[in-house]
Amino acid sequence: MSKTDNLFYDVWPGLKAELPSEEHELIIAGDVSGTNTALSVYTVNSELDLIKQIYWAKANTKTIDGNFNIALDDFLELVDLQKDDISRMVLGVAGPVKDEGSRVQLTNGPQVYELQANSFGIETALINDFAANGFAIAAAGEKKIDLDFIQLKHLDGKYYEPEPHGQIGIFGPGTGCGVGALKYSSANVYEPFESEMGHIRLAADKKLINWLKKQPDLKGKIGDHPHIESIMSGPGIQRLFNYFRGWNRNKETRDFDRLVKMNDGPNFVASYAKLNDNSISKKAMDYFWTQYGLALYDVAAVTKSTGGLWIAGGVIRNNIEKVRNQPEIIDEHIEKLLMEGIDRAGTQNHLISKMPVYAITDGYLGIKGAMAAAAIPKYNKQLKFYK
């Protein structure tokens, strides 16, 4: 057994699945973030009318200890496949892609480490995680894959339709804060492009700015001014709670401190805010969602998202539904705070307030995007593969 034995704690189906009898190829899709690393094997037939997930496994990124090659070997051993069985692999990674896709640095993990596309013994393409999200959105628009999402309602009570082939913006606070976009090209296909817009300067009151600049966990990461990821992320929610708590000490703050040690601080704040109107968590989350809406306006303006503004990431996925896994029951308070930012924030609201806005609730977004990029020829032709 490899030294990462039992690395993957969430495995489906757990036993080797029966491969289809028709001509097929096997591909690996991966979603590598600062929190979790998920890998999945898909079988694809030559007509692309069968794209079937046959294996799935997830690991805590921290346990990989900076060595993805060992994790890959562990996964292949787990599912009883050899590298020669795999036609190609696409990994969506939370970090900037460099040198024509040959390497990518994971920036929000427990440690900074680099993936090299030519080091795995499988024909591999590395893409930014928001490029993967873009491929998933594009493939869902073409009915190539299923994707779970909710359309949000504008302040005028209306839902708007996307402009055909219009540009698409993607915004997604999670472990970090990712931003991406899709542009319809002359080749008649959507092409994603990544950005580092999550690191633009934060526009907030001076008191909060000065407070953030003094935080030990941001030291050396923000230069002379905090960026929007400083608060638009899971760690950012914890920072906002600490900012609003001041010197308060009560059961809420004690529970928060305990759950931070268990890496569950953001979920505590978000959940507590929904149940307790007169709480520190409520103040922190209302401020968070208000800033979130303003950031969405900025993304919509920069990307001119007439084809749709898509909200991704764990924060929206875990909170937009008033009752988890019941998409028909939206948290209207969160929806209102988001749409106030989009519809009222600036001089272009005559355009932006008519853009359709979608919240993605699909927990497999990154995997599905990497799969689409690996399986669908007009997408993988946009990538550079290495072996």
Q: For 191-216, b where at least 16 C-beta lie within 10 A, e where not — what string? A: bbebbebbbbebebeeebeeebeebe
Which pLDDT belongs to residue 14?
Answer: 47
The rounded distance, in Å, linking the Cα atoms of 107 and 96 is: 8
Q: Are the C-beta atoms of residues 254 and 245 closer than 8 Å to each other? A: no
Closest CA to 353 of 141, 164, 158: 158
Indicate the class that CATH gives domain 8-143+365-380.
Answer: alpha beta
- Going from the first residue of the chain to its last (387 residues), give the mean pLDDT of each consecutive group of 10, the final group possibly shorter: 54 55 83 85 72 77 75 87 93 89 76 82 95 96 92 96 97 91 94 87 91 90 88 95 93 95 92 95 97 94 96 94 73 96 82 96 94 92 93
The rounded distance, in Å, linking the Cα atoms of 384 and 127 is: 9
Claim: this prediction has a pTM higher than 0.95: no
Q: Are the C-beta atoms of residues 175 and 35 closer than 8 Å to each other? A: yes
The rounded distance, in Å, linking the Cα atoms of 93 and 107 is: 9
Retrieve residue 164's tokens.
């055909």
Which pLDDT belongs to residue 220?
Answer: 80
Which pLDDT belongs to residue 213?
Answer: 94
Q: Is the peptide bond before 226 cis (omega within 30 degrees of 0)?
A: no
Domain-wise residue ranges, the chain: 8-143+365-380, 149-360
CATH architecture of residue range(s) 149-360: 3-Layer(aba) Sandwich (3.40)
